[in-house]
Structure 1
Amino acid sequence: MPTIATAGWSIPKKNADRFAEEGSALTRYASIFDGVEINSTFYRRHRPSTFARWVDAVPDAFLFSVKLPKEVTHERAMRDIAAPFQTFLGDIAPLDKKRGPLLCQLPPSLAFNAEVLAPAFRIMRDADDGPVVVEARHASFSCSEALDLLKTYAMDRVLADPAPVWPANDFDRRPKYIRLHGTPKIYYSSYSKEEIRSFCDLLASDSWCVFDNTASGAAIENAMTMRQLREPS
């Protein structure tokens, strides 16, 4: 089954009665969903004990995808990333077998440059062999050289909506990671059932689909709709 998730585990009041009544917000979220995307790691470090506590709050099969720190992707722009990346891996180590993909979301200002990205991806792969997905947001990534580089380092493209670089028809196989930010108003707009169904049809058994339209509380409801569409009839 694909992992259908939201960015963070905040539960809007209007949906609260569909989740377990007791436990932390994460425990309640995990009573319905089997994965979540941790975005807060982009902004700040968390203690390893925090990740350990989150692991203890969810079922055995639950997975966490984790967003790379902005120091790596934005402040250093993928240059000289060895030290902060190793620190990040140390922080999240308690996730252990519950760790899903690492999300490398690149800034819109970062153009494709193999001389910068190849060393960065090599550093990441030398330190970690787990799944990594890359969300590029500069149009220059729409080239064969970028795809070849990702293939070399066994990293998968993110299908984002809106899609600044790689639209759905640009994928020659089902995407491993879909991030739905909300259209037309990013982070706010809700998706219709028909739109959700169209993304649902793109999922493979090992895909992730993350709803990031959390600002309006739409993410939880959209994700629950997708789960219902995936259920056997």
Structure 2
Amino acid sequence: MHGACHQDTGRFAIGCAGWALPKDAQQAFTPEGSHLERYASRLNAVEINSSFYRPHKPATYARWAASVPPGFRFSVKLPKAITHERRLAGCQDLVDTFLAEAGQLGDKLGCLLVQLPPSLGWHAERVDAFFTMLRERHAGHVVVEPRHASWFSADASALLAPHHIDLALADPAPCAGASWPLAPANGDASSRIAYYRLHGSPRIYYDRYDPAYLNALADRLQADARRFESVWCVFDNTALGAATFNALELSELLKGRGL
């Protein structure tokens, strides 16, 4: 089994989906180093989405891990070959390959993200078999982002809880009936994660969240830190660089509260 993701009680992991730095935000970061090194000078987490589209060499993950400070964490999205093509079935070989690659992040691997296609509804036997297989190989945080309404049910929560699999909390909501859970499904926060994926609103991927939204979000994250082991917030409104500004603003809000 690959090593567990690093987990700190109540810590905040704030970042973006990717570490590109828009020109008008670059002055907020140290001027030296690679884009990742500069990004990591101000933000303590990042979500790797490129792994969804193509594999990265183990040496690439190792180089990324060596480029960031000790407290920095990566979330890595599972390949679409697993989630969208094989649809969680018969994919043990692909999971093994992916974990051998991403595992080179070592203790800087903070979470695995399983984003599902909107067409993939709840199928208890398939889901149970997949997460049983994954848990035999990986003990760290795993978050699933379903986009079909059938996943947002008591039966689904009851099946996912023993595997310690949490739902991503997405904005905008991915489908009718989706809502932000307020507490772990199994009532045990000791090994659970609150993971927010904020895609931008009202224009998804483009628009910047305003100060009022971020203040309310900071309130929520502060409350989550008392219940969940780890609290992540990833901004995915990257099309025009809004994610970088929002991540910096939220990080400063939390620091201003002494968090």
TM-score range, shorter chain: over 0.9
Counterpart for residue 153 of structure 2? 143
Secondary structure in 2 matching 1:21: coil
CA drift of 1:231 comes to 1.4
Count of aligned pairs: 232
Matched with 2:70 is 60
Matching residue of 1:124: 134
Q: In the aligned structure 1, how far is the partner of 2:216 from the partner of 2:170? A: 13
Pick which of 31-40 and 189-198 moved more. Answer: 189-198
Letter in 2 for 1:225: E
> Which residue, out of 198, 205, 209, partners 1:187?
205
CA–CA separation in structure 2 for the residues paired with 1:27 and 1:145? 43
Residue 211 of structure 1 corresponds to which residue in structure 2? 235
Identity %: 45
Measured after TM superposition, the shift of residue 152 of structure 1 is: 1.8
Post-superposition, which runs of at least 4 consecutive aligned residues in structure 1 deviate over 4 A? Answer: none
* Larger RCO (CA under 8 A, 6+ residues apart): 2
Residues 37-186 of structure 1 aligned to structure 2 (within 5 Å): 37-163=47-173, 164=175, 165-168=177-180, 170-172=181-183, 176-186=194-204
Q: 1:172: Cα distance to partner?
A: 2.9
CA–CA distance in 2 between the matches of 1:124 and 1:202?
A: 30
1:125-148 deviations in whole A, cap 9, x for unaligned? 111111100111101112111101
Deviation at 1:199, TM superposition (A): 1.9
Cα distance in 1, alignment partners of residues 169 and 47 from structure 2 = 15
**Residue identity opposite 2:254 in structure 1:** R
**TM-score when normalising by structure 2:** 0.86
- TM-score relative to the length of structure 1: 0.96
In structure 2, distance between residues paired with 1:59 and 1:96: 13
Gap regions ≥5 residues in structure 1? none
Q: Distance in 2 between matches of 1:167 and 1:224?
A: 26
* RMSD, aligned CA: 1.4
